[in-house]
Amino acid sequence: MIEKKPIYYATAGLLAVIIFASNFLSTDIFQAGYQNFSVWFVLSIFSFACGWLINKTLGYVHGGKVLFAVIVASAFISVFLISFFSEYFGLSDLLVENMILYILRNITLGAMGFFGMAICEIIHLQKESESGKSKTEELRRLLANAQREAQIIIEDARLKSERMLYEAQQAADEVIERKAEVEYRLKEFISAERELIKKYESEEE
């Protein structure tokens, strides 16, 4: 979350001053020559830069609300100023068209501020998207490594279990062989004892 310091609102104040200053420019920007148009172009660039800074400092949502409030306040101040000083602005009569014209000029500069905010936000989102893609690739790489390590561990465990089974089978076979050998020797011993007993009995008779 962006920390909103009081100094950050100075950019919105600067934009309000730029919009208010546009009221003192001629409305015939194309008929008045390149000089007047240049001033309008510079004001538009400044409005764009202010919108960019507002998005950087106040965020897109809160900054958009602040910028909208600046545009509305500037429009009201312009209407109030023109109403009371119509002769200074060269307006013999206060026509609705003249009021709308000045309001539209304020809205145009405000729209340039919104345009700057939008471009800044798009670049920010693009960077986040690229960062997210790199993180996704990193996670995929880590997952692939983990799968390989797990496969190696499983294969090693399988080999160890097979070796243990083989050793256990060998031990069991050895026990069976020893048992068979003991049984064979025991049968031979019993057979020899029987022969000895028979021989002993025959001698006594």
**CA torsion, ordered 106, 71, 24, 14, to nearest 10 deg:** -130
CB atoms within 10 A of CB 54: 28
CA 185/CA 163 separation, integer angstroms: 33
Could you tell me which of 77, 97, 84 has the C-alpha nearest to residue 21? 77
CA 44/CA 201 separation, integer angstroms: 135
Could you list the pLDDT tens digit for every one of the 205 residues in the chain? 556 677 777 877 888 888 877 777 655 544 444 556 677 788 888 888 888 888 888 887 888 888 888 888 888 887 777 777 666 655 555 566 667 777 888 888 888 888 888 888 888 888 888 887 888 888 888 888 888 888 888 888 888 888 888 888 888 888 888 888 888 888 888 887 777 777 776 766 5
Q: Let me know: does 25 contact 40? Beta carbons within 8 Å.
A: yes
Those residues with Cβ within 8 angstroms of residue 156's Cβ, 6 or more apart along the chain or in another chain: none
Residue pLDDT, tens place only, 28-66: 544 444 556 677 788 888 888 888 888 888 887 888 888
Q: Let me know: does 32 contact 110? Beta carbons within 8 Å.
A: no
Largest CA distance in the chain: 166
CB atoms within 10 A of CB 10: 13
